[in-house]
Amino acid sequence: MAKHFRSITEKYALLLVLLFTMLVFQILLPDGVSLFSPHNLNNLIVQNSFVVILAIGMMMCIASGGHIDLAVGSIVIFVGAFAGIFIVNMGINPYLAILLCLGIGILIGSWQGFWIAYIGIPSFIVTLSGMLTFRGLALWLMGGRNIGPFPVEYRNLFNSFLPAHWLNNPNDDTVFISTLLIGIAISVVLIAMKLVSYFRRKSKGYEVENIFSEMLYPVIISAAVIFLFHQLGRHNGMPAVLLLLGVIFVAYSYFSQNTVLGRHLYAMGGNAKAARLSGINTKRTLFFAYANNGLLASVAALVVVARFNSVNTTAGEGFELQAIAACFIGGASAYGGTGKVSGVVIGAIFMGVLNMGMSLLGVDMNLQRVTTGLVLLVAVAFDIISKKRRAGAA
């Protein structure tokens, strides 16, 4: 029994830490202030949406061998500057402008991937160069001035609320019930998918844990989803950006676990030489990781400029550090080869909870940075110590 309990706590350690942190902040907050209020939960999603998007792209680079991308913050302002020029200055159709911006992001990622994968320059050097180059180009394009405001049609793509945006003259009850039903539907799908996967693996003779251990995680997540959508329904409904995050989460979870290219990324991180000798085109795989990271950075840029309704000269500053921190806190290894999309998302949420909780408590901004830095150090130290312990046991 003790061994089984220890196995569960190790498997779900990050989720337990997140829940514990949220409860601690809830206890410490003064009366009348709640971390779980509809308004704060909505802000938690909206304010950290770009971190989740950037962290998923960063995780693909880290998984391929501990590579990082220091340029994602600069890509955000660079692509954002083009979005402002296309949509605000030139009046181009927002949908066409979005496609052009995504293409620019892919080109930037491909540029960096070429030097890293095919020329062999360390990722730190290439992306440090990109961080300086693309921020400088962005500020030059902007002429040192902010660009905005953006048209309502574009802002609604990322800043509206669903299903309120779909309904005609909805009242509060309609929004609440519709939002809650969406949350229940998502929860049912999550549990059903896990059950199908469990019994399929069991029928094929694969080693599986008992059903309680297997279903604990999806049940907890489903309960959290229902509670989240219950609270969002009491606000304005589900933020449109949450739908985007859901699509990205599902797509990259499937890609990383169920596609050949996704598994190649992890194989490279585990042992690049062995992966190459087994027939994996490691250069092409690493090139893809950075091209994909450029794509997701451009998506984050579109979200950021819509949220702030402008492209300002400080956009993207420090974004790369937040993305890297979310990856390592979320369980990605500094050496590559491990890490899950779900873990990275939880890592980003953990950072958001940490920052929001400290802000609500009135903690000085400088102390917030100290706390985030120490949490990152502990997360990476835990990864390294765990690897050494497993190597010693072997």
Task: For residues 310 and 304, give the distance between their C-alpha atoms in angstroms, rounded to a whole number.
Answer: 9
Q: How confident is the model at residue 128 (pLDDT cuts 50, 70, 90)?
A: very high
What's the pLDDT at 354?
87
Q: Please, what sign has the CA dihedral across residues 256, 97, 101, 321?
A: negative
pLDDT tens track for 233-270: 888 889 999 999 999 999 998 898 888 888 888 888 87
Res. 50: pLDDT tops 80: yes
Average pLDDT along the chain: 86
Q: Which domains does the chain carry? A: 42-160+241-389 (1.10.3470), 162-238 (no CATH)
- pLDDT average, residue stretch 14-26: 84
Res. 277: pLDDT tops 90: no
Q: Which region among 33-37, 59-63, 67-71, 196-200 has the lowest average model confidence (pLDDT)?
A: 196-200
Q: How confident is the model at residue 74 (pLDDT cuts 50, 70, 90)?
A: very high
Q: How confident is the model at residue 172 (pLDDT cuts 50, 70, 90)?
A: confident
- SS3 state at 311: strand
Q: Which of 289, 170, 180 is nearest to 225 (CA)?
A: 180
Task: For residues 372 and 388, give the distance between their C-alpha atoms in angstroms, rounded to a whole number.
Answer: 25
- pLDDT average, residue stretch 54-79: 92
| Cβ proximity of 181 and 231 under 8 Å | no
pTM for this entry: 0.90
* Helices 260-270, 282-308: inter-axial angle, 10-degree rounding: 110
DSSP 128-172: HHHHHHHHHHHHHHHTTS-B-PPPHHHHHHHHSEETTTTSSS--H
pLDDT tens track for 309-368: 989 888 888 889 889 988 888 888 877 778 888 889 988 998 888 888 888 888 888 888
